[in-house]
Chains A and B, each alone.
Chain A
């Protein structure tokens, strides 16, 4: 990577923030004005939502399994092994479900968006779209934004559910706990504040995945090598943003609801 002077580096970063803000602002504004490309929205929902189900189910399930397995030994030391369901449900719903699902979808879809739009950019298809009188932000970015935010919300719920189910399987089959007691303990741990926190996070993560993925795709330069670079950057940046925003949302939610 060539070294650049600090002022050029700073200008480039500020320019990138400005471009990202403009793209995001337009994509959001397009939701409230016509025309809408609902066909593209549903296509993206299918690709992002239904297409991501296998990885979300697998990661959620085995995270729940391992959470139950690891926590049981510590809880047993305090004679609180019956609280396994409580710990698994709380961890999955408030933290692991939203973050892991966000990271998995980021790896799968932010990269997909960056590479797809990046390929269109370098092959002049985006310019062709503009030349044919279509706003690329409206046609390409807004449907992905709507689809990602909407589907990530439900994918997170699926991940939470299968995570708790995975914890139940381990608790009953390996730890020898009572299934009814596990689910009762899980249910009791779920509070309004905890659920709200867990369901607000995917809205932010979905926004980050779609806007970062599309930003890097729409600003791809330098042929096929540029497409590869854009794809990598989209995954790295969106993953880091998801974790940072997860912390900020958690802190904000604790500020609003208290540490329940």
Chain B
């Protein structure tokens, strides 16, 4: 392990360290993380890990700290206690300038899309490429490819205000995946959307999971979306997701359930549905 991990990634393009990353080494590792706003504790003693290529669905009632946890993972907030390691780097101790380099490997979809309203869809999706001074032609080609992935290439010249909520969410996904990140953070990508549009978004998440095998964290308060994600797979031939045969579940999809700032469940889909915890049973029913 290098003496100063943040310095290692501050040299331009993000670098990977074999000793910090690998099949058995967690991509995301929370250890005893706590944070409070003013005097109100939001998260208390949160510890969990996310392994490479794993999709971790974070469930919980509104206001239980899910979005805060996501912002902590991306270094947008600093915890009051505990450590958070992303790709082996302790983001709680990194300077903002070093975090900018690390974030080049992380894609994030915000709860309300957070598209830049003064930029077109193309400029929004290409934002990161423009920052990296990617030539215009290459950037355009990658934007088209990314928008095709979310089936929205016809909206390339539109402004966010001209798009529906579901379309904005899809553009946000396109923006998050354009640099082919190793970790994708989805903060309630289906929040506030109708069931049909939600299913479209979940299908995109399944597609991204099964095509790129990137590690991801996904927040949702819709159990239906969570279980659709766990019980479906993407069929490259038909271009759509389909149920896993024989009621099977995707082994790489796991769950983390929060309540009142604490973890009440951390495990696989089978463990979740067979849990005997009374609160969890009531929540799932």
- Chain A: residues with CB nearer than 8 A to chain B? 120, 123-125, 127-135
Contacts and interface: CB of A to CB of B under 8 A. Distances in A.
Nearest to B96: A135
Contact of B112 (A124, A129, A130, A133): A124
Nearest to B127: A132
Given A135-B96, A135-B97, 20 more contacts: A123-B112, A123-B114, A123-B117, A124-B110, A124-B112, A127-B76, A127-B110, A128-B110, A130-B99, A131-B76, A131-B106, A131-B108, A131-B110, A133-B101, A133-B103, A133-B104, A133-B128, A133-B131, A134-B131, A135-B100
A125 B160 CA distance: 12
A124 B168 CA distance: 14
Contacts of A123: 112, 114, 117
Contacts of B227: none
A117 to B, nearest CB: 12
Given A131-B108, A132-B127, A125 B100 contact: no
B101 A125 contact: no
Nearest to B175: A132
Interface residues of B, number: 23
A141 B19 CA distance: 39
A127 B101 contact: no
A130 B114 contact: no
B103 A130 contact: yes
B74 A131 contact: yes
A131 B73 CA distance: 11
Most buried by B among A125, A132, A134, A135: A132
Nearest to B101: A133
A130 B131 contact: no
Most buried by B among A123, A124, A128, A130: A128
Contact of A132 (B97, B101, B103, B111): B103
B116 A125 contact: yes
Contact of B100 (A124, A127, A128, A133): A133
Contacts of B111: 124
Contacts of B175: 132
A11 B285 CA distance: 47
A128 B114 contact: yes
Interface of B: 71, 74, 76, 96-97, 99-101, 103-104, 106, 108, 110-112, 114-117, 127-128, 131, 175
Nearest to B128: A132
Nearest to A37: B131
A127 B99 CA distance: 13
A130 B99 CA distance: 9
A124 B114 contact: yes
Contacts of A135: 96-97, 100
Contacts of A124: 110-112, 114
A134 B100 CA distance: 6
Contacts of B101: 133
Which 6 pairs of residues, A with B, have the shortest CB-CB distance? A128-B114, A124-B114, A131-B108, A133-B100, A133-B103, A133-B104
Nearest to B116: A125
A133 to B, nearest CB: 5
Given A131-B103, A133-B101, A133-B103, A125 B76 contact: no
B131 A128 contact: no
Nearest to A124: B114
Contacts of B106: 131
B189 to A, nearest CB: 14
A130 B185 CA distance: 14
13 contacts: A124-B111, A125-B115, A128-B110, A128-B115, A128-B116, A130-B76, A130-B96, A130-B100, A131-B103, A131-B110, A132-B103, A135-B96, A135-B100
A132 B100 CA distance: 8
Nearest to B75: A130
A81 B259 CA distance: 81
A111 to B, nearest CB: 17
B191 to A, nearest CB: 13
Nearest to B131: A134
A129 B130 CA distance: 13
A127 B114 contact: yes
A127 B103 CA distance: 12
A134 B99 CA distance: 10
Nearest to A139: B131
B128 A128 contact: no
Contacts of B103: 130-133
A30 B104 CA distance: 21
A127 B172 CA distance: 13
